Structure 1
C-alpha cells in the first residue's frame, strides 16, 4: 500500500512554562509577588538557582485559596501546602519527597485540578509532591483564575511564571484544510498535540506546533475549552484542527476531567469554531457537541475525531468504546457535521484508536493504530481501511510503545509519518500519562529512489 517507513528522529520538548506564555521573568532576592491572571488552570512557576540553605516557597494565590510548594535546601525536603475552604493541609511524599541529587531548579505547577512541586536534578525535572485539589477548590473557575497572584519567598537567580507547557507530547495530528491537505506556516507543517502534564487525562491539554523541513519542533500556541453542559475551562485534548477560509474548526475529546470511577463516566467529542489567531498565544474556545452516531453499537464513549470533507460529504473518523478500556475505530459521514450517519465500525478490534483519513495514491483510506492489548494478530500495527471501513491492508512501519496515531504527509520524494511513544518523564509520582517522544519516520531511501508505492 505504501513503501516501508524507518525512524529518522525523535523529539522531546519539555517546558514547564509554555514558550511565549511567560507573565514573569525576573531575578529576586526575597519575598516578591506579581499579578498573573490565567485563562485556564494550567500554570507554572519555575525558580532556577534556588538557595543552598533555608527554605524556598513558591505559591499561587487567588481569593482565600493559597497553593504553595516548599523546598528545604538544608534537608532536600520538598512538599506542598494547600489553604482552601478555611483549612490548611500539608502534603509530602514518603518515597519521593526528598531530592537525591543537587537541585538547580524548583517548580510549582497547576494542571487541571492537580498541584505538583518538582525539582530539577541532573538535567531532569522530577515530581516530588502532588495533590488533587478537586475536593478543595474549583480550579476551573474563570473568575478565580483571573485573580491569581504568583509569589516567591526566598532568593533565586531567576523566577519565571506563565502557562504550563508539557512534559511530553502525544496524540499528534496534522492541522489540515477541509479537504485533508496539510496547512503550512511558511515551509513548516502545523501539528496539534496533547501536551502531557504530571499525571494522566486531567493534567493534559491541547497545543499547536510547527514542524520544520529539518524536523525541528517549535511551540505555537495552547488551546483550552469551555463546554456547553458545565461551567469552567477544561484541558480537553486528542484534537483535530481544521483551517477554513476565514476561521478554524477545532474538534476535541472531553478527556479533561475524565474519571472512570465516576458513575456514568463518559467521553464525548465537541466542536469549536473560531476566528482567533490560533498560531500564537493561549486561547479558550466555546464548544458545542459534535454528535457522532453510534447506531447499533454499544458505546460508553467516543474520542479521537478526524474531519475531512470529500466532495460534498463530511467524513468523521473517531473511536468508540463499548466499555473502558476496550475501543475500536469507526467512521461517520454526511452532508454536514450535524447530519452524520454511521458508515462502519471495526468492532472486532479492542485496542485500536487514532482513526485518521488520508488520501493515498490509490484513493482515500482510513488509518488506525493497534495497541499491544489487542487480540492476537491485531497488536502493534497500523491497519488500513477503505471508506466503507473494510480492512484493505496495513502500513509497514516501526511501532513504538503506546498507541501512536498514524499521521502521514506526502513529501517530494516519499512520505513522512509523525507518531509518538509511551516514554515517561518526571519520576514515579507522575505515573502513566507523561508520554511521549515524538517519533518521526520517513519512507526509506531505497523506496524513495525507485520502488513504486504498492510494491512489496
Structure 2
C-alpha cells in the first residue's frame, strides 16, 4: 500500500480483475410481495404487437401499455384512471418485451430493446399527489401481477456493498467455507426511495487476469454473485412513519444465535421534501441469509457530540474482544455524519452495548467521505473510508486509512472507480494455503448507469472486483 506513515496496516495492493452487473426487473427467485418493490414482464411476439404489463392491488392498478409505437403508463386509483406518456422517451426501438415496476412511490414502464431494459415512462406517485400509500401492508397484500413473469423487483445495479460479518468482524462464510455473503443496495430506477437492501453470495476471484475478463480460464473461475434474498424494514414507532420501506446502506452481523441489521433510512429520503436520514437497528433469529424478510427496527442512536449533524448513515458494527479496561468487550461503530447536504465525513463511536455508545472521533474537515469500514489487520483495528470526487484535490478519489482516533495513516493502494465506492476488503479464508495468503479481494462499485436517459441519479452501478497482487 501507499502510506504516509510507517505505522499503517500491512494491507496489499489491489488490481481490477472483473466487473459484474446482475440486472433483473423481476427477481427470478423472489415471488412473495412483502414491500412496494414489485415488477411484471410481458414478452412481445414482434415489436409492433401490443402488450400490457400490470400490477394490481384491488381497485388500484399500474399498467405499462405498449401499442406497437409508444408506451404509456396508466395509473388507476379506486376505479378512476389517468394515462401518462413521456413526450420525449415513449417511443421504443424494436422491443421484444414490456414491463412495469413499482419501486417505492415510483411507477416505471419499460421496454426491452436489444437485450437491455430501457425506461420509457415514470410516474412519481407523491409528486402526482396520488392518495395511494404504497408502503401500507394491507394494500400490498392485495398484489397480483399480470404478465408472463411477476414478483419482487430485482435490481438495476448494486452499490453500498458490505461483507456480512460475525460480531468480531470476521466474514460470515457459507457452510463450505468458500463463498462469503454480502449485503448491497439494489439500485432502482431513480433516487434513494427506489432502492432496497439485498443479500448475495460472492465467490472471490481466483484468476490473475485484468479487465474485462469474466470468463473461466485455466487459472480458475471468475468471481460471481448470486442473489439470495432481500431485507425490508418497518420504522420505529416513534418515527410516526407506518409501513414497509426499502431502507439501505446496511450491515448484517451474526451475533451469537441472532442477527443484527444496522441500516440507513434512505427509503424515505427526498432532498426536496424530506432531506432526513438516520440509522436503525433490527434483531432477528430467522435465517436472514435467504428469502424475503420484513424487520421491525429501533433507533440506533449514533453520537455526534460537538458536531453539526443533519444526517447519519453507513453504520458498520464490530464487537472487540475483552480487555482489562472492557472485561466484557465493547462495540465499535463507524458511520457517516453530514454537516449539511451534501458535505459528510466519517465518525467513530464505542460503548459496552449498542444502546450506550459514546463519541470517539470524527473527521469534520472531510468534504465527501463515506463508506466507513472497520478492519482488523494483525490484531489492530483500522478505519477505511472513501473520498469521493467532490473532496479536496489532495484527497479526491482515494481510500484513506485511519486509526481509531481517525488520524490518517495513508491510503489504500487500489484502483478508484467513479462515484464513492466503499472500501470493502475480503481477506483470505481461514486456513488457506500459504500460497494464498495474499488472496485478498476488494469489492466496490461505480457510477455506471442503467435504464436509459429518462432516469436520473441512482441507477448505478457495476460491481468492481479487485484482487491483491
**TM-score normalised according to structure 2 size:** 0.87
Whole-angstrom distance in 1 between the partners of 2:271 and 2:157 = 23
Deviations 1:16-62 (A, max 9, x none): 1113113xxxxxxxxxxxxxx62100101012244544531221121
Unpaired segments of 5 or more residues in structure 1?
23-36, 153-158, 445-456
Contact 1:50/1:56, CA 8 A, preserved across alignment: no
**Which ranges in structure 2 are unaligned for 5 or more consecutive residues?**
1-8, 205-221, 322-328, 429-435
Task: Say which is worse superposed, 88-97 or 419-428, in terms of deviation.
Answer: 88-97
Aligned to 1:296: 306
Match of 2:437 among 391, 404, 413: 413
Q: Could you tell me which of 166, 169, 175 is aligned with 2:158?
A: 169
User: Where in structure 2 are the equivalents of 1:53-202 lying within 5 Å?
Assistant: 53-73=48-68, 75=69, 77-84=70-77, 87-100=80-93, 102-134=94-126, 135-136=129-130, 137-152=132-147, 159-185=148-174, 186=176, 187-202=178-193
Q: Please give the alpha-carbon distance, in whole angstroms, between the structure 1 residues aligned to 2:84 and 2:375.
A: 48
Q: Is the 8 A contact 2:36 2:135 kept in 1?
A: yes
Give the Cα separation in 2 of the matches to 1:321 and 1:53. Answer: 50
Contact conserved, 1:19 with 1:219, CA < 8 A, in 2?
Answer: no
Write the distance in 2 (CA, Å) between the matches of 1:151 and 1:85.
Answer: 18
Q: Name the SS of the counterpart of 1:103 in structure 2.
A: coil
Root mean square deviation, CA, Å: 1.3
1:226 aligns with 2:207: no
> SS of the counterpart of 1:144?
helix
Q: Which runs of 4+ in 1 moved over 4 A?
A: 50-54
CA–CA distance in structure 2, aligned partners of residues 89 and 59 of structure 1: 14
CA distance in 2 between partners of 1:118 and 1:241 (Å): 32
Match among 220, 223, 240 for residue 251 of structure 2: 240
**Aligned pairs, number:** 420
Q: For residues 432-447 of structure 1, what are the structure 2 equivalents within 5 Å?
A: 432-444=457-469
Query: In structure 2, how many angstroms separate the alpha carbons of the residues matched to 1:45 and 1:193?
Result: 23
CA distance in 1, matches of 2:270, 2:456: 16
* Counterpart for residue 382 of structure 2: 365
TM-score using structure 1 length: 0.90
Distance 1:320 1:120, change over 3 A: same
> Quick one: distance in 2 between partners of 1:50 and 1:42?
27
Cα distance in 2 for partners of 1:362, 1:313 equals 15
For the 8 Å contact 2:53–2:100, the answer to whether it is kept is yes
Report the alpha carbon displacement of residue 96 of structure 1 after superposing the two structures with TM.
0.9
Q: Does 1:216 align with 2:211?
A: no
